[in-house]
Amino acid sequence: MSVQPEDLFRNIVSHCKEYGFIYPSSEIYDGLSAVYDYGPYGVELKNNIKDYWWQAMVRMHENIVGIDAAIFMHPRTWKASGHVDAFNDPLVDNKDSKKRYRADQLIEEAIEKIQAKVDKEVDKAAKRFGDQFDEAMFRQTNPRVLEYQQKADETEQRLATCMSANDMEGLGRLIADLDIADPVSGSRNWTEVRQFNLMFSTQMGNIAGEEGKLYLRPETAQGIFVNFLNVQKTTRQKIPFGIAQIGKAFRNEIVARQFIFRMREFEQMEMQFFVRPGTEMDFYRYWKEQRMQWHLALGTPPGKLRFKDHDNLAHYANAAVDIQFEFPFGFRELEGIHSRTDFDLSSHQELSGRKLQYFDPELNENYIPYVVETSIGCDRMFLAMMSHAYTEETVPDAEGQDAIRTVLKLPPPLAPVKCAILPLVKNKEDLTAKARGIFDQLKAHFPCQYDEKDAIGRRYRRQDAIGTPYCVTVDFQTLDDGTVTLRDRDTLRQDRLPVAEVENRVKSLTNMALLLGRAG
């Protein structure tokens, strides 16, 4: 059954709430904007995503090690990294609606609208000319398409120029020239565009004033940079080597929306790979491919993932690409791969006065390494997995009528519960005792659930809705011959097998090694 993208997104959000994956933070006080809590199944899925990333990075690479740095860091860290001066978004307020927007996003949306007009003309012509339609020729020659396309390209170019030059007045002019209205009120009564720093700050208890001002880290990467020599010396790693970390990051996003896509408190999985200067582009290409392979190993269709080079490079990068995923609201950034040069280590060396150089025994020289970074938001990955896994299927119910089956087709190694153990009926003592026994035997090996409430069909549906890949059903034949049925969530096939084989069968089908083997 195909669901419209807007409905799909709405359904995913309510499914996450209804089935204990994600709740709005402090909901009894009406929630806190762009902050969310993970429920019992959400935390399991999120932990499995983190585990898959950690194992693919740290366990599968001899030259990558992990750390867990503190969220608070010395405030000069953020001066050196450039975040105090340059971690800004252009902010504009509408004076009538009092709503706050990111100027660049308003302009991007205006460009998307112009681009939609091009697509509409092309669709219309394709319908009119049928099989005879030559789309490339039409795009090159149709005067209306050319006019729209030129406007979209010029606007994009002006936006890129303003963003790289931090030209706030230029952005204000673009908003006026494009005649952009507030999406809420329709008003064009805008303030000037100004820079807004995205870091949250707080105060250290025992130091008053500016000296005691601390920031909640806006990226985990800096904890890795400042520990670079500690890690290299204590693990005796030789370049090239990497340091991986998973942890919370905080950003005071101006416009935070689309559920867990853009949050104010979120989690990052980052890896900094330290390389010899001059070799960084080779490793940049290597990590670009490796990271794409990690996503594809999950069974995500290749058409749902794509690379997008950055038009504007961040202050620290000499090359950058995003891996975008097709969310229900379109292709958006899921992960970033950046070649960060020696910007961070050099800045920290300069501001701290401590040498952050590596002695390369092969070259017999000291240098500051270059860095290639892979950075993915754990919550965004969670949303990508949910978007891909959430499926509504039409299946016959017990009376043979069409019914909707909502199923999360998560890769089995990531599923929150691997196996449910279900006695066919609940009021037969010998069946329930047998099923409980199997549950007690399996629960130490992988996350299991025992469920005897409601008819068996309803219990299957409950497990489908949380993505449980296998259900073991204990029936009357079990009591005779010691066999059970194993139901597959996706194919709905039921195999009969001896109880003694269940543990190994489910283990082998849900093992993380399956993904790691494909991830390259």
- Binding positions for ligand GAP, rule: CB under 6 A: 219, 221, 251, 253, 262-263, 266, 268, 270, 333-336, 373, 375-377, 379-380
In whole angstroms, how close is the CB of 357 to ligand GAP at the nearest point? Answer: 22
In whole angstroms, how close is the CB of 39 to ligand GAP at the nearest point? Answer: 18
Q: Residue 313 and residue 340: Cα distance in Å, rounded?
A: 10
For the record, the structure tokens of 169 come out as 């007045």
In whole angstroms, how close is the CB of 219 to ligand GAP at the nearest point? Answer: 4
Strand partners, 250: 265
* Minimum CB distance to ligand GAP smaller for 181 or for 313: 313
Residue nearest to ligand GAP (CB): 377
* Minimum CB distance to ligand GAP smaller for 162 or for 263: 263
In whole angstroms, how close is the CB of 251 to ligand GAP at the nearest point? Answer: 5
Residue corresponding to tokens 């309510």: 14
Strand partners, 408: 390
Q: Residue 228: what residue type?
A: F
**Is the separation of the CB atoms in 193 and 92 below 8 Å?**
yes
With a CB cutoff of 8 Å and minimum separation 6, the contacts of 457 are 397, 398
* Minimum CB distance to ligand GAP smaller for 266 or for 390: 266
In whole angstroms, how close is the CB of 257 to ligand GAP at the nearest point? Answer: 10
* Minimum CB distance to ligand GAP smaller for 231 or for 509: 231
Q: What order of strands is seen across the sheet that includes strand 319-327?
A: 64-66, 241-250, 265-275, 370-377, 330-341, 319-327, 305-309
In whole angstroms, how close is the CB of 91 to ligand GAP at the nearest point? Answer: 15
* Minimum CB distance to ligand GAP smaller for 95 or for 306: 306
With a CB cutoff of 8 Å and minimum separation 6, the contacts of 421 are 435, 436, 438, 439, 442, 448, 449, 450, 451, 471, 472, 474
* Phi, psi at 108, each rounded to 5°: -60, -40
* Minimum CB distance to ligand GAP smaller for 377 or for 467: 377
Q: Count CA atoms closer than 13 A to 295's CA, side-chain side.
A: 30
Q: Can you tell me whether residue 41 is helix, strand or coil?
A: helix
The three state secondary structure string of 325-356 is: EEECCEEEEEEEEEEEECHHHHHHHHHHCCCC
Which value, to the nearest 10 degrees, does the dihedral of the CA atoms of residues 439, 442, 446, 449 take? -10
Q: Count CA atoms closer than 13 A to 454's CA, side-chain side.
A: 10
| Residue 177, H or E segment | helix 168-177
In whole angstroms, how close is the CB of 438 to ligand GAP at the nearest point? Answer: 40
* Minimum CB distance to ligand GAP smaller for 12 or for 118: 12
Contacts 24+ apart (CB under 8 A), 113-116: 114/148, 114/151, 114/152, 114/155, 115/148, 115/152
In whole angstroms, how close is the CB of 416 to ligand GAP at the nearest point? Answer: 21
Q: How far separated are the first and last CA of the chain, in Å rounded?
A: 34
* Minimum CB distance to ligand GAP smaller for 51 or for 393: 51
* Minimum CB distance to ligand GAP smaller for 34 or for 438: 34
In whole angstroms, how close is the CB of 358 to ligand GAP at the nearest point? Answer: 21
**Is the separation of the CB atoms in 220 and 270 below 8 Å?**
yes
* Minimum CB distance to ligand GAP smaller for 180 or for 334: 334
Q: Residue 357 and residue 367: Cα distance in Å, rounded?
A: 5
In whole angstroms, how close is the CB of 381 to ligand GAP at the nearest point? Answer: 7
In whole angstroms, how close is the CB of 222 to ligand GAP at the nearest point? Answer: 8
* Minimum CB distance to ligand GAP smaller for 270 or for 464: 270
